[in-house]
Structure 1
Amino acid sequence: MTEPRPEPERPAHRWGFGAFFLAQAVFVLVSVTVAAFFGELGDEGSRLGLALVLMLVVPTVLAGLVAVVITLVRGNGPRIDFGLQWRWKDITTGLGIGVIGLVSTTIASMVWINWVGQDNANSTVSSMLDGIRLPPALAVVIFLHVWLVAPVCEELLYRGLLWGAMERLRWSKWTALVLSTAIFAIGHLEPERTLLLLVIAIPIGVARMVTGRVTASIVAHQVNNFLPAVGLLLISLGVMPE
């Protein structure tokens, strides 16, 4: 019986922590710019809803695109540097860890709400949608973004650029897991929910550590975001109270 061949070592990339900070800076600057535009609209119906969608989607997507461009310019592309490729093993691992994470996150969220109260437990996105009723098309866009798109972009930053920067310095996988989890929680800029975000991020980071590739952490992140995305969809349509 022949032993399975070990996977070839990835070629070294030429980007480090500066790449992650650049992508984060793009996210912050674009967020501020779109927020300024959003603030000037006041309460103008459909234009307000469109501005809200742009405020949620554009900064995250642009930051994710910056991460991809960095790998193309300073590395070997996202497929090699991030392990961003379709493998059933990564998909099933991400699904399995994601389900475990979803259960733990749901329990942690219930405990957190009982501890700090509903008002302090709401995410930034949920707070932004408070009292706003969106057209169905825009509500679906937000649902798909929170469930599918945002996890991809965030994983390219935290478990892609940031994790890769630590790999380049030959830091251990456990160090990469701990630091990327902490920075992920802090980087959401939601101080009231930082501890909860730590719980959410641990299974996602474990998926990245176990497989060595971002695909698994993306799937785990998407599984974890599904129920919150459904909740936001129902809230934005006025079906469920905030």
Structure 2
Amino acid sequence: MREEEHSPAARDGLVLGAHWGLLTFFLGIGGYYLLSLVLAAVVLGGGAKFNSLQLTGLGPLVLLAFVPNILLGLLPAIGSWLWGRGLRVDFGLLPTARDVKVGLACGGFALLTGYLINLALIGVYGVQRLDDPLNEMFGGISASVGWLVVAAIIVAVGAPLAEELLVRGALWNGLAHYRVPPWVILVLTSLVFAQLHGEPTRIVALFGQGLAIGAARMITGRTGSSVIAHATNNLPPALLLFIGT
């Protein structure tokens, strides 16, 4: 869509009086929770049917848990296309060489941060309460290598892309539009990132990892770098699926 085809409000990034990034953030996160509730109701409502399935047949069912994540990235992408200047301009989604270098460094630091904080939290919660949620979720599809490969791709690529478009993309851009200081945006987006995962015992570690991943976005000014950082952070857990399950 050419710039002259946009309305003046759209060119200013405003929709219904607010920046489109904030609008798509709230729509995305609202849709995420709503669809999660719907899917949970469907699964629980068919409990007898699902309980009769063989464990190796649970792949499609377990992967339904990731369907709501699509909305996290889809709404910002649609908003960028309708009211913004496209994914490459609004988010800097296509990584540059610098994005890759910064992303890998920040992703590695996120891994180290998460490891050290979780190590400290073992003394508070114990080992059992800090078990890897991915291994718990995919334990039933251990006999299906194909589904594990799909799950690993989602964890290492799909989830980082969707979450970064929402948090370090739409929300970050919306807050920046209102001249919120970058360090405040970094903290706020890290809090949202930690809360989004719904893991109370790991929320401190997730917040620390969010700061490291968000640092890539703050350093480069591009979401592409935070996608690389997030994917780097998620890659080892994704590979460990094949060992842990």
* TM-score, normalised by the number of residues in structure 2: 0.84
What amino acid sits opposite 1:55 in the alignment?
A
Q: Distance in 1 between matches of 2:12 and 2:131?
A: 41
Residues 142 and 158 of structure 1, relative CA distance in 2, 3 Å threshold:
same
Using the TM superposition, give the Cα deviation of residue 130 of structure 1 relative to its aligned residue in structure 2, in angstroms: 4.3
1:1-242 matches, within 5 Å, as 12-14=12-14, 15-39=20-44, 40=46, 41-45=50-54, 46-56=56-66, 58-130=67-139, 133-236=142-245
What amino acid sits opposite 2:43 in the alignment?
F
Using the TM superposition, give the Cα deviation of residue 96 of structure 1 relative to its aligned residue in structure 2, in angstroms: 1.5
Moved more, 97-106 or 220-229: 97-106
Deviations 1:110-153 (A, max 9, x none): 22234311222135433323455341111111111111111111
Identify unmatched segments of 5+ residues in structure 2: 1-10, 15-19
- Say what the alpha-carbon RMSD is for the aligned residues: 1.9
What amino acid sits opposite 1:213 in the alignment?
R
Whether the 8 Å contact between 1:13 and 1:76 is mirrored in structure 2 is no
Whether the 8 Å contact between 1:185 and 1:197 is mirrored in structure 2 is yes
What amino acid sits opposite 1:31 in the alignment?
S
Tell me which protein shows more helix as a share of its residues. 2
Percent of residue pairs bearing the same amino acid type: 33
Whether the 8 Å contact between 2:104 and 2:229 is mirrored in structure 1 is yes
Aligned residues: 225
Using the TM superposition, give the Cα deviation of residue 224 of structure 1 relative to its aligned residue in structure 2, in angstroms: 0.7
Whether the 8 Å contact between 2:141 and 2:148 is mirrored in structure 1 is no
Using the TM superposition, give the Cα deviation of residue 208 of structure 1 relative to its aligned residue in structure 2, in angstroms: 0.4
Using the TM superposition, give the Cα deviation of residue 82 of structure 1 relative to its aligned residue in structure 2, in angstroms: 1.0
Whether the 8 Å contact between 1:38 and 1:55 is mirrored in structure 2 is no
Q: Could you list the runs of 4 or more consecutive aligned residues of structure 1 that deviate by over 6 angstroms after TM superposition? A: none
